[in-house]
Chains A and B, each alone.
Chain A
Amino acid sequence: MAGAVNLLVQSHPINSALSLIVVMASLAAEYLLLGAEFVAAVQVIVYAGAIMVLFLITIMLLNAGKEVRSKGSHVATLLGVPGVTIGALLVGWTLVGRSSTTQLVSIGALWGDPKSIARLLFHDFLLPFEVTSVLILIAIMGAVVLASRPEAIARDPRKDQ
């Protein structure tokens, strides 16, 4: 939570990225508390390890500096912020109000060891698994095309001559 708030408060994107890493790490710890050890591991490896690194690389590549004051959107501040706060408060109030009816979760209630997860993944969720892998492939190709310099793509037809 602290990390999340810090993300909002910081003005330099690097600081925001670092606070996001803090958030991810703490979430991994939460998952462990809940007994989802495989998920926690994946969280650290994929999220904190790969995605955040990607963010840091991009920030440094683009030399992003401190945020400059610019003409914002009236709608965003006047409508969106109150809207989301109200929504969040409502949800929170509902949850807290119903907390008496929700059960308690004990630490380590459900062991999510890799074996059982793998069983689920490759039996019941096989199709989503395969589709997701195709999705990643497309994402890679798209990222390469989008991020490359325009001349780099135009050069290829000439190379074939």
Chain B
Amino acid sequence: MTPNPYLWLVPILPLAGAAINGFLGRRSSKTAITAIALVFCGASFLLALVLAAGFRSASAPYYFDLAHWIRSGTFQVDFSFYLDQLSLVMLLVVTGVGFLIHIYSIGYMWEDDGFYRFMAYLNLFMFFMLTLVLAKNYLVMFIGWEGVGLASYLLVGFWFTKNSAASAGKKAFLVNRIGDFGFLIALFLMIKHFGSLDFAHVFAAVRTLPAETAGAGLLTAIGLLLMVGAAGKSAQIPLYVWLPDAMEGPTPVSALIHAATMVTAGVYMVSRSSAIFERAPMAMTVVATIGTLTAFFAATIGIAQTDIKKVLAYSTVSQLGYMFIACGVGAFSAGIFHLMTHAFFKGLLFLAAGSVIHGVGGEQDMRKMGGLRQSMPWTFATMAIATLAITGIPPLAGFWSKDEILWQAYGASWIYWLIGVITAFITSFYMFRLMYMTFGGDYRGASPQPAHAPDAHAHDDHGHGHGGPHESPWVMLGPLVVLAFLSLVGGFVGYGNRFEHFLAPVFQQGAAMVEETSSDSGKGTETLLMGVSISVAALGWLLAYLLYSRRPQLPARIAASLGGLYQAVVHKYYIDELYAVLFVKPLIDGSTAILWHGVDQGVIDATVNNTATAAREVSDQARHMQSGNLRSYAGWVAAGGAVVIAYMVWMGVTH
């Protein structure tokens, strides 16, 4: 481990930008705000590139201890940063995609009153995310973990005057917190049993323990609890409900947080803790199962959604499921690979969707779109590239990573593979459905009157009075193009197991497993499975083409004939309603009855009020002593004298 004094600058620079913009932004000009935000974020990105260039696997990992924090007996936690191959990948993804989204946001949020606030929050988010990624121990990672939750709340509820946005922000934060609770318990277990939260110490201690193949033990418990935290952060079952609602935030937020970075924090954390998971097969199975179920489940919901951003939200949940499948079967590097490519194409999809929404004047319902291919050619082109990537059409990035995951899943169990393939089919279907509905056919939207302005303001729009849908400015298209390029070529990073070998020092055991599976079944099976996933993607495209381009009346007829099932899917299987009845309502009722009436009013208020009442009543009684009646005074004196005499006699007798 070699020290590197520049590591701590990477998170701190965006923090400085956030502070400057946050405190001084209200009275600054938009140019100044933009400059500050871009300079600091860009500096962070440049620094990341410099670190990457200077990275040598031989001298890795790099670390830097910034300051002391907790020194309590033998337990010690410091503000320390850490850079190894895994962190490097995450670092480049976060800073790169983050920087592009900063540029995009300039164009997107220019007209908004809270422009300075938005840029400040974006920088703040970058700070927390980079802290998370560069942490050297679980506690610093937890700072970043909580911090990105906070930034998510701030950014999702950015238009806080809108009730739905404020509630969505709250929901995101609260559901996240449930996951954080599990994470915290896992940290406590680690402190108790390993005496440290430092990655090096913990993993060294864990590697001395045997694998828990017999039954559940300490490592299984830690693993499951970490998974709870990851499920909250990365929107897996059962804590995914916040992600679709989080689409209330501006689209750059959705792109950055809910596609590229924050939701991948869970995958990163699980990968980082690979040593723990590898020795707890039961936890791994749980991870893989959750991933599989979530991937399939979310994809089915995505079929019936009409809001363009909601489709992408469920798609994110589904793709995150893929990453957890990878982690669950031990192919951590495949999971990280998919994380990287997903950041490219999902970020691109969201930004392009934002461009579409911007172009049609704030409309997000796909049924009111259509025929945008001619009016927004660049958006169409980049979004098409992203769709091809996500559905796994070679040679784009998504194909390589998704196929790698399916191949590793097959090596673990054919069930994972089968459900993964079906999900790929559904993914392809809904993505091309989105494309056809948005860009194909004729424009179904309302004619572009200024009357659009009122409800357009509620979304994120600029009330264009002129013409119909139009292309977005170049400040927004630029990042789209860059991401499209990355989606095209990003997959070649992993060509021929290069990616895994790069990450091998981090996942020591994992590398061995990877070698096993690829030599076991041989090249033939791998090629066959590759063919299956490609054909499945093509089938999905074909079906979407048939239903949404050739015969647009068909989907409605199918929906009507499916009746109840279709209704369930459209309403997201009523999961939100279920949660409301099971958890939210009892909690609120219990809180009102017990904590509010019982404790707050009954105990705290009552104590204060009753103290006052008691004082008043005591003095009310004491008042009677001062009656002005001479004889009662004499009576008191005589009584008091008797007491004194009695006391003296008693003292005299007992001595």
Chain A residues near B (Cβ < 8 Å): 72-84, 86-87, 90-91, 93-94
Write out the residue numbers on chain B whose beta carbons fall within 8 Å of the beta carbon of A76: 629, 631-632, 634-635
Inter-chain CA distance A80–B634, complex, in Å, is 7
A80 contacts B639, C-beta separation under 8 Å: yes
Supposing A75-B636, A94-B649, A94-B652 touch, asked if A86 and B642 sit within 8 A by C-beta, the answer is: yes
Decide: A84 near B632, CB < 8 A? Known: A73-B627, A90-B649, A94-B649.
no
Bound complex: CA A79 to CA B636 (Å): 7
Q: How far is the CB of B529 from chain A (nearest CB, A)?
A: 102
Contact call B642/A87, Cβ cutoff below 8 A = yes
- Interfacial chain B residues near A83, Cβ < 8 Å: 635, 638-643
Instruction: Kindly state whether residue B200 has any CB partner on chain A within 8 Å.
Output: no
Determine whether the beta carbon of B646 is less than 8 Å from that of A77: no
Contacts known (A90-B649, A94-B649, A94-B652); A75 close to B635, Cβ less than 8 A = yes
A77 to B636, CA, bound (A): 10
Interface centre among B631, B637, B640, B643 (most CB of A within 10 A): B631
The answer to whether residues A75 and B632 also contact, given A80-B638, A87-B638 and a CB cut-off of 8 A, is yes
Proximity bits, B303-338, A CB within 8 Å = 1, else 0: 000000000000000000000000000000000000
Closest 9 A/B residue pairs (Cβ): A80-B635, A76-B635, A83-B639, A73-B632, A87-B642, A83-B642, A75-B632, A80-B638, A76-B631
Chain A residues near B645 (CB-CB < 8 A): 87, 90-91
Q: Which residues of A contact B629 (CB under 8 A)?
A: 73, 75-76
Residue of B nearest to A76 (CB): B635
Contact B641 A87 (CB under 8 A): yes
As a 0/1 sequence over residues 598 to 641 of chain B, the CB contacts with chain A under 8 angstroms (1 = contact) are 00000000000000000000000000000101011011111111
Question: 24 pairs across A/B with beta carbons < 8 Å?
Answer: A72-B631, A73-B631, A73-B632, A74-B632, A75-B629, A75-B635, A76-B635, A78-B635, A79-B635, A79-B638, A80-B631, A80-B634, A80-B639, A81-B638, A82-B642, A83-B635, A83-B642, A84-B639, A87-B638, A87-B641, A90-B642, A93-B649, A94-B649, A94-B652
Which residues of chain B are within 8 angstroms of A77 by Cβ–Cβ distance? 635
CB-based contact B652/A84 at 8 Å: no
- Report the minimal beta-carbon distance from B628 to chain A, rounded to whole angstroms: 10
Chain B contact-residue range equals 10 to 19
Q: How far is the CA of A79 from the CA of B643 in the complex (A)?
A: 11
Do the beta carbons of B646 and A87 come within 8 Å of each other?
yes
Give B contacts to A, CB under 8 Å: 627, 629, 631-632, 634-643, 645-646, 649, 652
Query: How many Å from the CB of A118 to the closest CB on chain B?
Result: 36
Interface of A: prevailing SS: helix
The residue in A75, A93, A94 that gathers the most chain B C-beta atoms within 10 A of its C-beta is: A75
Residue of B nearest to A90 (CB): B649
A103 CA to B133 CA, complexed, in Å: 100
What B residues does A78 contact at CB under 8 A?
635
A73 to B631, CA, bound (A): 6
Of the candidates A72, A74, A77, A83, the one having the most CB atoms from chain B within 10 angstroms of its own CB is A83
A79:B639 contact, CB within 8 angstroms: yes
Smallest beta-carbon distance A135→chain B, Å? 24
Shortest CB-to-CB span from B452 to chain A, Å, is 87
| Chain B neighbourhood of A82, CB < 8 A | 639, 642
Question: For the complex, what is the distance from the CA of A77 to the CA of B632, rounded to whole Å?
Answer: 8
Q: Nearest chain-B residue to A97 (Cβ)?
A: B653
A135 to B643, CA, bound (A): 33
Residue of B nearest to A73 (CB): B632
Q: Is the CB of A84 within 8 A of B638?
A: yes
| Alpha-carbon gap, A79 to B634, bound state (A) | 10
Alpha-carbon gap, A93 to B643, bound state (A)? 15
The closest CB in chain A to the CB of B641 belongs to A87
- A91 contacts which chain B residues (CB < 8 A)? 645, 649
Report chain A residues within 8 Å CB of B635: 73, 75-81, 83
- Shortest Cβ distance from residue B635 to the other chain A in the assembled complex, whole angstroms: 3
> A87: nearest residue on chain B (CB-CB)?
B642
Report the Cα distance A76→B637, complex, angstroms.
9
| A91 to B634 alpha-carbon distance, docked (Å) | 20
Q: B638 to chain A: which residues have CB within 8 Å?
A: 79-81, 83-84, 87
List chain A residues, Cβ under 8 A from B634.
76, 80
Asked whether B631 lies within 8 Å of A86 as measured between CB atoms, the reply is no
* 15 extra interface residue pairs, beta carbon distance < 8 Å, beyond A83-B635, A90-B646, A93-B649: A73-B635, A75-B632, A76-B632, A76-B635, A79-B636, A80-B635, A80-B636, A81-B635, A83-B638, A83-B639, A84-B642, A86-B642, A86-B646, A87-B638, A94-B652
